Amino acid sequence: MFQSFTLKIIVALVLTVHSVFVFSAESKLRILKSAVAKNPTLYNKGVAGSAAMTKRVDRDLRNCGWFNLVDTEYSAEYTLSGSVSGRKIKFILRRGGVFALSFAMRFKTGKVVSTSQLAVDHILKKLFKVRKLCVSKIAFCAETKPGRKEIFTCDYDGGRIKRITRNHTLSVEPDWEPGQRRLVYTMYGKSNTDIIEYDLASRRSRRLVHFNGLNSGAAVSPDGKYFAVILSKDGSVDLYVKSMDTRWMRRITKDKAAESSPCWSPSGATLCYVSDRSGSPRLYTASINGKKRRRLATLGVEAVSPDYSAGGIIVYAAKMGGNYAIAVLDATGEKTPRVVLSAAGDWESPSWAPDNRHVVASRKIDGHSSLFVIDTWTGRARRILAGQVPFSMPSW
């Protein structure tokens, strides 16, 4: 789990297309945390005039994780209906039979997926103040050949996979810039690693960092102006903050310990990262001026791969009983850290969804690594990508 100077190469088959991904009947998930919130029930009456839209809306309502869909209208708290007329689609949401919400959208036959995602996102925003969940993307790594990993993206539910890089080397550790228009990632060369920025629209790349030695773990600040990065240019593996567009750079740590996996607080004033200064990987925070460093109280014998939610909650992988589980903590220390999910294998690289409720993480078991979406409120997990190649390092 803890990042080192080299990546372990796992031999795998060539990446298969999404339509042939198969789920294996491995061990069932064991939920350690009972539900703390109950989703409202919803009955989807369908979209009159479009069977394809009816099916897709049903899928997005289930996969968003904010509703429990039921088969009968009388048992539902909410009822959703829709209708297509020309180039418009109209939705009506009722609660207990009483009108609650109505909205219309432009509709094209070839835009079923994107229209459905926008429609469900509109409902989530109105009911729960959740913004842009269904239209969000997940970046991840997949091994295309032995010794090679490339960056891919997919929809929030694992659909519409798209290959981003073709570097024919190890391209790892993707992180989104604000707006989901660009990605940064680590690319391995013959003698060192580089931090690369990729623009999804223009498909152009630029090198952000190219010092001698290790350049890895880039994480972009909430305002998009800076990125945190791990460098070994001065002989030790330390945490730095660098401007995206100028030469300005600040060293945050300076010790014999090895740092890794930085992430930003919602305000951009604090960094959380991993350090082995205590003898084993643990989570620490530091202000971006390098002061006010402190160790966080975490579960397990190791704590790695942290990520901040917009609400200030840190999700991380905690080593417990020989395997890594998904755990969360309140960075203020006001709430006790808790385990969200534990099951056979190792759960790695959790990353928050825009709704501050779900995370995506990889689960490695018996040499295979799949991607899951985990509900941190209930502990339920749903596999979104699986196959004969390993998927790893997701970033929502």
Closest by CA to 362, choosing from 377, 346, 376, is: 346
Mean of the per-residue pLDDT values for the chain? 90
Residue 230: partners with Cβ closer than 8 Å, 6 or more residues away: 3, 214, 215, 216, 217, 237, 238, 239, 240, 259, 260, 262
Q: Indicate the range of 225-234, 289-298, 299-308 predicted with least confidence.
A: 289-298
Query: Is the model's pTM score more than 0.75?
Result: yes
The structural domains of the chain, with segments of one domain joined by +, span 18-31+133-395, 41-63+67-128
Q: Indicate the range of 88-92, 110-114, 266-270, 364-368 predicted with least confidence.
A: 364-368
Q: Looking at residue 190, what is its pLDDT? A: 87
Q: Looking at residue 4, what is its pLDDT? A: 39
CATH architecture group of domain 41-63+67-128: 3-Layer(aba) Sandwich (3.40)
Q: Tell me the pLDDT tens digit for each residue of 159-208.
A: 999 999 999 999 999 999 999 999 999 999 988 999 999 999 999 999 99
Cα–Cα dist 260/4, whole Å: 9
Q: Looking at residue 16, what is its pLDDT? A: 32
Q: Looking at residue 9, what is its pLDDT? A: 30
State the sign of the Cα–Cα–Cα–Cα dihedral 144, 147, 153, 156. Answer: positive
Q: Tell me the pLDDT tens digit for each residue of 1-58.
A: 444 333 333 323 223 333 333 333 333 333 334 445 689 999 999 999 999 999 999 9
Does residue 367 have a pLDDT over 90?
no
Is-same-fold flag (18-31+133-395; 41-63+67-128)?
Answer: no
Average pLDDT for 280-285 = 96
CATH architecture group of domain 18-31+133-395: 6 Propeller (2.120)
